[in-house]
Structure 1
Amino acid sequence: MLSAVRQAVSRAPFRAFSTTSSRAYDVAKLTLIGRLGKDPEVRTTKSDKEYVSYTVATANYPPPPPNPDGSRQEAGTTWHHIVSFSPAQNNFLRTLNKGAQVYVEANFELREPEPNADPASPQGQRQIFLRHENIRILKSAPSHDNE
């Protein structure tokens, strides 16, 4: 009976969920939940294309394991620099303020250092390039009216 089931399954039509190769949609994506470190900044490229740059701070969680004496180091903060080249998104990003809690999706690209660059310079170091894809406001920034 088991062999009959195997034969029936082997003759069943094969169902493909995609007609394109799986490599066509390989992505490297980063999801962040954190706070804006400063107000987003409008900048321009060398070819005069406008873009918005912003920074998201996240806490490293869970915190490091306890030391032998039982004390524990505080969880560190990681700063993520993200750029957006979408004019529609850029108009929205301009309205955000430092301190807002955000959910961000960004494409992730690792850039290798330039071969002849000074290792102490940014061009001589490996860099992570995050290209903005989506952002949601989880909590607005605290009001600055008191200052």
Structure 2
Amino acid sequence: MFSSARQAFARAPRRAFSTTSTRSYDVSKLILIGRLGKDPEVRTTKSEKEYVSYTVATTNYPPPPPNPDGARQEAGTTWHNIISFSPAQNNYLRNLQKGAQVYVEANFELRDADPAADPSSPQAQRQIFLRHETIRVIRQAPSHDTE
């Protein structure tokens, strides 16, 4: 199941770790291996800056432990919304298709809820903001050619 992911990691360039103090380079990074939930979308900020938004679905593994009666729940799916502001990466992301299996590295930021927001709105909830760093396609989306 993970053989294609291992191959992708084996081909990845190696990085040498610096002797510079880690305090000046702290990071919050999330690594995802999953499938694109829909085709990436090009959007524009209020200040007219173009960005690409895409969603990666991952399956929570291993599945939860068995219930007291011995029945096991199915592993759930988590949907991760990621944005990219890099023009070079955005050109590549536009060509990806729903269903492609991808390896994604994203920086993340945990944003606190807005106490003044409507409790039913997303702004009233704590959010994880994912900013695209790299993506590698592990397996292309299955083609749905209709002739």
Q: CA deviation at 1:22?
A: 2.2
Answer yes or no: is 1:18 the counterpart of 2:19: yes
Partner residue, 2:10: none
Deviations 1:68-112 (A, max 9, x none): 222110000000000000000000000000000000000010011
Answer yes or no: is 1:74 the counterpart of 2:74: yes
* 2-structure distance, mates of 1:146, 1:102: 25
Partner residue, 1:55: 55
Partner residue, 1:106: 106
Deviations 1:102-126 (A, max 9, x none): 0000001001112311221111111
Question: For structure 1, which segment, 66-75 or 100-109, has the greater mean C-alpha deviation from structure 2 after superposition?
Answer: 66-75
Question: For structure 1, which segment, 81-90 or 106-115, has the greater mean C-alpha deviation from structure 2 after superposition?
Answer: 106-115
Which amino acid counterpart does residue 18 of structure 1 have in structure 2?
T
Q: CA deviation at 1:146?
A: 3.5
* 1-structure distance, mates of 2:78, 2:95: 23
* Percent of aligned pairs with the same amino acid: 80
* 1-structure distance, mates of 2:99, 2:72: 27
Partner residue, 1:3: none
Number of equivalences: 130
Partner residue, 1:65: 65
* 2-structure distance, mates of 1:92, 1:73: 38
Partner residue, 2:142: 142
Structure 2 runs not aligned, ≥5 long: 1-17
Deviations 1:24-50 (A, max 9, x none): 111000000000000000000000000
* 2-structure distance, mates of 1:123, 1:38: 23
TM-score normalised by L of structure 2: 0.85
TM-score normalised by L of structure 1: 0.85
Partner residue, 1:10: none
Structure 1 runs not aligned, ≥5 long: 1-16
* 2-structure distance, mates of 1:60, 1:69: 22
